[in-house]
Amino acid sequence: EAIREGYSEYRSSFKTKELLKVSYRLGFLAVMLTLLLAAIWVALRVAASITVPIRRLAEGTVEVARGNLDYRIEEQSGDEVGMLVESFNGMTADLKHSNERLRREITNREIILTNIDAGVVSMDRGGRITTINPAASRILGVYAEDVMNKRYDEAFRFIDLMTELSRTQLRGKPL
């Protein structure tokens, strides 16, 4: 009888051992899931700290390309992304300053060209007329809007014709 009771106790200890194993496994699984969720959360936070400023930089480049030189990114961090944001903000400030200086210089040039008595015609590398001041229009007998953005040989073709006519008349040859 004592052996039977001992054997019965021994068998029941196996059942509690199995329950104990299951409870340990469930506890281990709960800890692992908690750690996995925490790792995913940390990864998402780190990714957001990188992707959000980069997305703002991309939006900023679009705004600057549209001509909005007042666009600033308000992002404070001491890492490489923060340095990139600071460089972007510095670049847009420099661009704005250069753009304003260029506009002032263009305005000054236009004032000077408008008020001098000498005729001035400027062309780009392709020979297209980019500037003609009032004195040049008067001297050449053309309207600025008729010759702007045209090649000089096309814009002043009639002047070549007039010059040729004058030469022919000076030589005494009949037309």
What pLDDT score was predicted for residue 22?
Answer: 86
Please state, as a whole number, how many other Cβ atoms lie within 10 Å of the Cβ of residue 3. 7
Q: Would the pTM count as exceeding 0.75?
A: no
Query: What is the number of H-type helices and E-type strands within the chain?
Result: 6, 2
> What is the C-alpha separation between 5 and 15, in angstroms, rounded?
16
Name the stretches of the chain with pLDDT < 50.
175
What pLDDT score was predicted for residue 167?
Answer: 62
Dihedral class, residue 21 (left if φ above 0, else alpha if ψ from -120 to 50, else beta): alpha
What pLDDT score was predicted for residue 97?
Answer: 95
What pLDDT score was predicted for residue 33?
Answer: 97
What pLDDT score was predicted for residue 165?
Answer: 56
Please say whether the beta carbons of 112 and 134 come within 8 A.
Answer: no
> What is the C-alpha separation between 44 and 136, in angstroms, rounded?
67
> What is the C-alpha separation between 21 and 97, in angstroms, rounded?
72
Strand, coil or helix: 77: coil
What pLDDT score was predicted for residue 117?
Answer: 86
The DSSP result for 133-170, as a single string, is -HHHHHHHT--HHHHTTSBHHHHTHHHHHHHHHHHHHH
